[in-house]
Copies of this chain bind each other. A is one copy, B any other.
């Protein structure tokens, strides 16, 4: 990790500290992704079989997981893990349910009732990665809000293991969320299948979930394409920013930095502190904890583009954090609660010494599908509303039209839209 003193950096150097690693800039990737998507759109299931053979190394006659496979997965899992998944699902459900939007109605003028109603998205597609590791937690983070939203059809794609089966923990989590249509499909071909539909996979209205650079590029392309498939977030590599004061525990802070760094070589972690000795102590702890970490190689690569930043004051730290807009923000501060008001852009915030980011990843109840790469400046993390649409409604009586019609006609005239004006005045005449 670079060690820098913010106050002595010039503008260019500061920008460099906060620059994300160029993870998405793989040369030729966009063209490769476009080719695979076009092929899946053209050849459907036959293309899916070819790419699954090529990229996952397995020959699959069909992709959909049947109920016997769900049963086998459930039988294979340890009771402790099943209980952990159940408990996590319960807390995720409690938190997400409490934040659900409700319909409302307002009489904006006499005889003019305006409403907002809420409808689930009809067909949603969830992507659950299983590259370096299967992620049952992601199945919960997408499946629980999809169920709360009431989506009639929930499709889940997850890459097959070398034996052709889906990961049993992912299947258990999917069933726990009531998802019955699970396909052993990964990568670009899975996104293409859900975006356009094939003989076996339903075409989805919106796609969700994290993924590697290939999956991300595929989601970007289908979202920009003509069918207007929605996507949850412009995903990128995982990241954490920690703001720590003199009282923070170096071992805890180091563990939190490493738990993001182990995600991938393009992950980024930042520590900001107004207390230089803490930065020293954390740097030493990071080295110490790296020694016994299975994924130390991955973490070391991520740390190469990560920084320990000395700031003059905590106010500076919050200004930097809001500019960076981290996916995860840990406030390892004595007054973490009081400082929450200073956070204007972040995906999820962890207050104090006892809230490791890993809790939010799994089981505090919040969602772990969060905006990365600065998208937290404009985007929120996944929640129940991500799986719904709101529709506005107006019910207008004859006298209601008589009341507000002249207002509409006046503005329509100012805009030179005469047919708009006449749709109102024709009724005003009929109502008189």
Chain A interface residues toward B at CB < 8 A:
24, 80-81, 84-85, 87-88, 91, 94-95, 98-99, 101, 104, 106, 108-109, 112, 114, 116-117, 119, 121-122, 132-137, 169, 205-206, 220, 223-224, 226-230, 234, 249, 251-252, 255-256, 258-259, 261-263, 289, 293-295, 299, 322, 336-337, 340, 343-367, 371, 373-381, 383, 385, 388-398, 400-401, 404-408, 410-412, 414-424, 426-427, 430-431
Task: Determine if B135 and A415 form an interchain contact, defined as CB atoms under 8 angstroms apart.
Answer: yes
Alpha-carbon distance A229/B134, docked complex (angstroms): 31
Alpha-carbon distance A397/B256, docked complex (angstroms): 17
Task: Determine if A393 and B259 form an interchain contact, defined as CB atoms under 8 angstroms apart.
Answer: no
Which listed residue, B349, B362, B398, touches A411 by the CB 8 Å rule?
Answer: B362
Alpha-carbon distance A343/B137, docked complex (angstroms): 34
Which listed residue, B137, B337, B356, B361, touches A427 by the CB 8 Å rule?
Answer: B356
Alpha-carbon distance A410/B78, docked complex (angstroms): 10
Task: Determine if A108 and B88 form an interchain contact, defined as CB atoms under 8 angstroms apart.
Answer: no
Task: Determine if A255 and B422 form an interchain contact, defined as CB atoms under 8 angstroms apart.
Answer: yes
Task: Determine if A404 and B359 form an interchain contact, defined as CB atoms under 8 angstroms apart.
Answer: yes
Alpha-carbon distance A295/B421, docked complex (angstroms): 12
Residues of B contacting A427 with CB < 8 Å?
A: 252, 255, 353-354, 356
Given contacts A348-B392, A408-B358, contact A419 B373 (CB under 8 A): no
Task: Determine if A358 and B423 form an interchain contact, defined as CB atoms under 8 angstroms apart.
Answer: yes
Task: Determine if A407 and B84 form an interchain contact, defined as CB atoms under 8 angstroms apart.
Answer: yes
Residues of B contacting A426 with CB < 8 Å?
A: 251-252, 255
Within the complex, the shortest CB–CB distance from A137 to chain B, in Å, comes to: 6
Within the complex, the shortest CB–CB distance from A90 to chain B, in Å, comes to: 8
Task: Determine if A377 and B121 form an interchain contact, defined as CB atoms under 8 angstroms apart.
Answer: yes
Within the complex, the shortest CB–CB distance from A126 to chain B, in Å, comes to: 14
Which listed residue, B84, B293, B340, B351, touches A418 by the CB 8 Å rule?
Answer: B293
Given contacts A88-B407, A99-B116, A390-B380, contact A262 B412 (CB under 8 A): no
Within the complex, the shortest CB–CB distance from A213 to chain B, in Å, comes to: 13
Residues of B contacting A373 with CB < 8 Å?
A: 228
Alpha-carbon distance A238/B239, docked complex (angstroms): 40
